[in-house]
Structure 1
Amino acid sequence: MTATTPDPHTVLGDCAPAYAPLRDLLARNLSSGADLGASVAVIRDGELVADLWGGEARPGEAWQEDTIVRVWSVTKTMASLTALVLADRGELDLDAPVADYWPSFADERILVRHLLSHTSGMSGWTERLSTEALLDLPLANEMLARQEPWFEPGSGSGYHMVSYGHLVDGLVRGVTGKPLAEVFAELVAGPLGADFHLGVPEGELGRCADLEAPPPGGIDVSALPEGNLMIPTLVNPKLDPAEFNTAQMRTVSLAGINGHGNARSIARAQSVVSHDGEVGGVRLLSPATVERIFEVQADGVDQVLLTPMRWGIGYGLPQPVAAPAVPGGRVCWWTGYGGAIVVNDLERRVTVAYAMNRMTQHMTSSERTDAYVRTAFECVEAAG
């Protein structure tokens, strides 16, 4: 990566003419400071019709074509996709108990689809967890495996904010004997040529953009209902923003919160879903497995996010309160703390992705992210 001082107004990359408004939006956000550095991409019918980036990876250093950044919970879509590929290959039954694959997993009521849809009750750790223990996957996985769920499995959703990656990692280890990061690379990122990492290799750390923590004032703890699950999920462990950009946090695979990629690589990997299981001549999922994503597992107020959510298997489904800019129809999506997002639209055969380093107050939606999603789909419509 070459260190330069970029013009913050400059947007690099290419897009089809109909997607010029998306380029203009990125340019405005870079100019105004709404974005420090960012990338946005659209794949439609197998073609990368918008691949745009600009701004700074860190002060004084340009966001390059191959810059990658931590995208928080967008990472969960990569963990989900890996599990779905294993299911499609007949190695994993979505309706089977997790304990069939993970022998130390204590609660036999919890099914694989419960883990993937945030309905298992394993929203976080009951036992006190340090940051060091969080980064020790076998240890943190087994702490989850032996605990009681926080609510009746399958009775509703409670977002697995951090625990999701550990749960899927433990499951995938039980199925394959390998960690999730390795299986994702072998079965998803490698075949699709997607530059997305569940744990950044040490030799690639120089490509990582630095995250800028969001401004304070996001959650009014005093306004939360008594007995809520948000607080115990958020504070155990309580992550320090000062650690976001450390090599330790980047190289370990926390597949719920610390995957690194850019809009292009996110869209490349996830477009296999929007394209009915096959993109660029690579088939990872059968249409039948793709359809399982849209089986509603929970529809109501999420006990951790405290907002109405519709969960399919591995993805959020359209819910106007949680994601006002995500279109309806055969659409699945998820977003990341601070603003990153991916939206798969199967009817239009479109995947939209956005990844940035200047975080804002964003749990499931925010004005900046909504504008990118709305503009991208307006461009899709304009393109005909």
Structure 2
Amino acid sequence: MTAEAAVHGSVRPGWEAVREAFAHAQADDPGAAQLAVRHAGRPVVDLWTRSTAATAGRPFGPDSVTVLMSVSKAMTATCAHLLAQRGRLDLGAPVARYWPEFRAAGKAHTTVADLLAHRAGLPAFTDDPAGTGLPGLLDWNARVRGLAAMRPLWEPGTAYLYHTLTQGHLVGEVVRRVAGASIGTYFAREVAGPLGLDLWMGLPRSAERRFVRQSALRPAPGAEQIDAAIGRLGLTPDDRPARFLRASTRELAAAVAAFDTRRGRAAEIPAAGGIGDARSLARLYAALIGEVDGVRLLSAATVDRARTPRTDHLPPPGPLHRFDGPDRSRFGLGFELPRPGEPLLGEGSFGHAGAGGRLGMAHPENRLAVGYVCTAMSWEPSAGPDPRWLPWTEAVREASAAAGRA
């Protein structure tokens, strides 16, 4: 065990402590990582580490890109908020206004906001315990037809439970219906293109040479582990909530397997399949809260609407009451919010984490935007912030406060 990881890159004067904290945080991580921070729109931290584990023979550096997992959900949410800001999408309107087939099976009053805030009652693509395997997962039309026809697990808007993969297809299909372009195409045209981001939903073949696979620290949970976890929730295998949970877990495993294939990386899996680097994440979030090289994506009013809590008052669906508690995730409209007592960038920040520790977030009042990308994939459920974040997020807050006093 080493006290610090070898860190490459640069920081601006006044931000040196972030480099030291990042080195300390990465000391025991066998994977590689990137950290980028922008303050008042300009880059102040640009760091990366190498990997001590195999990375499919490709070295990891400042220009490498990798899978972002659920950080991708913020990319999808950004597209929805852009359409709303431009008057083309009403987030409070029924989904069926834009996607008529969705009104089936008791979903006529489900709103676009319900989709963004994980309140729609559709936490998996199917309630078949086998879940959706790899070939079916990549069939967009089949997945959205299934969601449109599905009976929700709870009355939409009355409860909250994280929609691991389905949220991306739900919001992505609304974007497609409104914009006339797939979610990946719309993001490339309206977000990544104007900002010059190396950030994609659907990796182009030209960027494959920069892609570094994530490495699993341990295997995905098997059937016995999944069933044991469901049993600890007090559910029987035949309970519909249990079937949804089992399917969701297996669908996520299929998605992770897909990202090891060219076909999977080229597909649009907008809840987990975004691919990019930390620099682009920080630049994206900086453009959500301010101007970056003449481009600002969201107005202050849109940001405030996006980060207003939308799930604090809602319980988990009845049988899943054990998901309740101070450690559960909090959501605005498509963005995660800090949990009680969670420091990170502080109250008022918003963003999204991803499995394995990826993170993108911003704090408008402190003019901070952060991107953190790593290659080590853990299947351990999180009950709070990734421990690798804590040293450098504290250093970022302190450097930002000092810059504000200067």
Give TM-score, length-normalised by structure 1.
0.89
The 2-side partners of 1:197 and 1:367 are apart by 27
Q: By how many angstroms is 1:143 displaced?
A: 0.8
Structure 1: runs of 5 or more not aligned: 1-7
Distance in structure 1 (CA, Å) of the matches to 2:330 and 2:263: 34
Cα displacement string for residues 301-354 of structure 1 (whole angstroms, at most 9, x for unaligned residues): 555892423211111122137xx3334432112100010011211110111121
Residue 112 of structure 1 deviates from its aligned partner by 0.7
- Deviation at residue 149 of structure 1 after TM alignment: 1.4
1: CA distance between counterparts of 2:280 and 2:138? 25
Q: 1:43 to 1:302 in 2, by over 3 A?
A: farther
Counterpart in 2 of 1:281?
294
In structure 2, what is the equivalent of residue 198 of structure 1? 201
Q: Distance in 2 between matches of 1:244 and 1:126?
A: 21
The amino acid across from 1:49 in the alignment is V
**Of 336, 339, 348, the match for 1:330:** 348
Q: Which runs of 5+ in 2 are unaligned?
A: 236-240
1:198·1:254 contact (CA, 8 Å) conserved in 2?
yes
Q: Which of the residues 386, 400, 405 maps onto 1:366?
A: 386
Specify the alignment match of 2:232 in structure 1.
223
Q: Deviations over 1:190-239 (max 9, x none)?
A: 11111101010012111111101133598861433324564342134642
- Mean Cα deviation higher: 372-381 or 338-347: 372-381
The answer (yes or no) to whether the contact 2:32–2:375 under 8 Å persists in 1 is: yes
Cα 1:47–1:201 change in 2 (3 A) is: same
The one of 252, 256, 271 equivalent to 2:271 is 256
- Runs of 4+ with deviation above 3 angstroms: 25-30, 216-220, 227-232, 240-244, 300-305, 360-364
State the SS of the aligned residue for 2:14.
Answer: helix
What residue is the counterpart of 1:312 in the other structure? 332
- TM-score (norm. length: structure 2): 0.84
Mapped partners of 1:10, 1:310: distance in 2: 34
Number of residue pairs matched by the alignment:
372
> How far 1:180 sits from its partner (Å)?
0.4
| Structure 1 residue 242: Cα displacement | 4.8
What secondary structure does 1:72 align onto? coil
Per-residue CA distance 1:167-192 (angstroms, 9 max, x = gap): 12211111012100000011111111
1:156 partnered with 2:159 = yes
* Residue 99 in structure 1 maps to residue 96 in structure 2: yes
1:274 Cα deviation (Å)? Answer: 3.0
Deviations 1:345-382 (A, max 9, x none): 11101111210101233535221133333332233234
SS at match of 1:335: strand
Give the one of 22, 36, 44 matched to 1:41: 36
RMSD: 2.5
- Measure, in 2, the Cα distance between the counterparts of 1:215 and 1:371: 25
Output aligned runs, 1:97-246, within 5 Å: 97-106=94-103, 107-126=107-126, 128=128, 129-215=132-218, 221=229, 222-226=231-235, 227=241, 230-236=245-251, 238-239=253-254, 242-246=257-261
Q: Which whole-Å CA distance do the structure 2 matches of 1:320 and 1:312 have between them?
A: 15
Residue 397 of structure 2: which of 377, 381, 384 is its match? 377
**Identity of paired residues, percent?**
32
Q: Provide the C-alpha distance between the structure 1 equivalents of 2:96 and 2:331, rounded to a whole number of angstroms.
A: 22
- Cα deviation 1:100-124 (Å, max 9, x = unaligned): 1112212211101111111111211
